[in-house]
A and B are shown apart, each in its own frame.
Chain A
Amino acid sequence: MNKYIFQGIIFITMGFLGISCDSLHKFKGEHHSLAEELRKISVDSINYKFDARDIYKGNSLILAYTSDSIHNFYLPERTSEITSFPCLSCHTEPLEDLKNKQENGKQAHWDIKINHAENNVMGCITCHDQNSMDGLTAINKGKITYNESFKLCLQCHSTQYNDWLGGAHGKSLGGWVEPRIMNNCVNCHDPHSPAFEPRWPARLNTIKLKEQTSN
């Protein structure tokens, strides 16, 4: 109760002195939280001194074309990272013929294990275009390039895709300034086994450990 009386006295005094709450707060308006105030503040066009493309160190960038995003953003170019691209330099014959040839020996891509959804849901050709190995295939048989492989992932992972477009999922490259540069899905997730593996932490603070055990 005392608190309200105290607040009342302060507001009355402020009224006499002609001081408004706005003048005391950096964020104009009523007594709202910072997050709430931020929604009202918009600086329409900010000219940043720095360009994210100058900060970014890595492969060349490609502009991501997607009708879902209001703002354009960049992705690292993918095909130059794939060691045996273009695939057609080996895949000169149809897949079925290759399978018959290598029946007894070690098969190509023997090291790739698919650990992505159920075996009866996904196989190689769910994503890879068996008629043209240099590209990927959508559920409706549309063609998708390796550089824009996110269009393949979004068919099932629409929640993650929306978060990625907005900025809540994925990894930003090249800093916080414009233009936006994002990792493509496959830059973090192995498409054949997309879950992150458990591992040990990068460090142990031995001094803190001593303090904790001595207490």
Chain B
Amino acid sequence: MKHPNKSINKECSPDSCGCQNDKPDGFEQKLNKPINRRGMFQQLTASLLTGAGLVNSSCSVTATDDKREKKQLEWEEYFKGNYRLMSDNEKQDTVKRLERLYELNNGNHASISSEQPSENVLFGYAFNISKCQGYMDCVNACVQENNQDRNSQMQYIRIHEHQNGQINFDLADDDFYHEVPAAGHFYIGTQCFHCENPPCVEVCPVKATWKEKDGIVVIDYDWCIGCRYCMAACPYDGRRFNWATPEIPTEEINKDQHYLGNRLRKKGVMEKCTFCIQRSRKGNNPACVDACPTGARIFGNLLDPNSEIRWVLDNKKVFRLKEDLGTEPKFWYFMD
């Protein structure tokens, strides 16, 4: 499409208006512009590799347009900034690039959202210990929704089977397989608690993980260096690491994705529960809440006095795990 301003510039002469004087010349536009360190590296290596790439692609008879486009997109992705520092336009650009890359890699379309947090929303979660029966439907729903690696059977949620009379996670079984609920036992589910004071965020040396305005602790998978400090810092075993490239059968991939949520991860990065950010930022409940047949899981806006979660906090005797650490998890347990 022709840019309207361009045609105006063509028509006007230096005599009729002063616009020609304001326009910087080629030197000012390209060579004399301020550049930061990252940009300098990007341009230097770009020019180096463009040269090499040009020779390669011009001589290659096998390189298809798709391959070239993929390389170009991967190149641009490699040099993008931290998601938190991106402008809205940059976020849109990276989302478009990732969608196109997904299309080139998988042959079908996935929508990747960069939906921002809403005003006056702080997410919280409550778990009814009396109701959970240990069915583990939540775990299945979570794995499917969040595109977790099937090979390593990664799961964000753990359901711990405790013996009546004690809450002791060392003695609890989180991989039971017998008819449930077992007599004399009760069940407690754990996952990322989205602490208001998250130690995992404190320890990240590259600021690849942070707490969003709506309280969700997220990870930029393209910024994470895989040092696993956060995994060590989390007192609740809420974080998971990709030891290998995650593999999901193509037909099982959830194509409704979010940049900070369930988009496909790569080898060597951390991941964890995001309260299903791709769902919750659109008003929906996380997949675990939707899947639970017993209604043991309650999710909502802590700032809304009319919300279910606030009713639970105001009317039930609630507790959190390891409260003395001061991590302020936004995940409460209660009993009927």
Contact = CB atoms under 8 A, between A and B. Distances in A.
B303 A199 contact: no
B175 A51 contact: no
A209 B312 contact: no
A3 interface: no
Interface in B310-332: 310-316, 318, 323, 328, 330, 332
A110 interface: no
Interface residues on B, range: 35 or more
Contacts of A35: 313, 318, 332
Contact of B312 (A48, A50, A52, A167): A167
Interface stretch (A9-17, A115-123, A137-145, A200-208): A200-208
Contacts of A51: 283
Interface in B129-159: 131, 133-137, 139-140, 152-153, 155, 159
B307 A169 contact: no
B9 interface: no
B123 to A, nearest CB: 8
A201 B295 contact: no
B120 interface: yes
A196 interface: yes
Given A38-B310, A49-B118, A196 B133 contact: yes
Contacts, number: 139
Contact of A46 (B136, B176, B301): B301
Given A168-B128, A200-B177, A208-B153, A48 B118 contact: yes
Interface string B274-293: 00000110111100010011
B289 A201 contact: no
B295 A169 contact: yes
B334 interface: yes
A168 B283 contact: no
A201 B136 contact: yes
A201 B283 contact: no
A36 to B, nearest CB: 10
B175 A175 contact: no
Interface string B295-309: 100111111111111
Interface in A45-69: 46, 48-52, 55
Interface string A114-134: 000000000000000000000
B4 to A, nearest CB: 33
A33 B313 CA distance: 12
Contacts of A198: 133, 179-181
Among A34, A51, A178, residue most surrounded by chain B Cβ atoms (within 10 Å): A34
A186 to B, nearest CB: 14
Nearest to A212: B175
A41 to B, nearest CB: 6
A49 B306 CA distance: 17
A176 B280 contact: yes
B178 interface: yes
Given A34-B196, A50-B283, A172 B180 contact: no
Given A49-B283, A168-B334, A208-B153, 8 more contacts: A38-B303, A46-B120, A168-B311, A175-B283, A175-B284, A201-B176, A205-B153, A205-B175
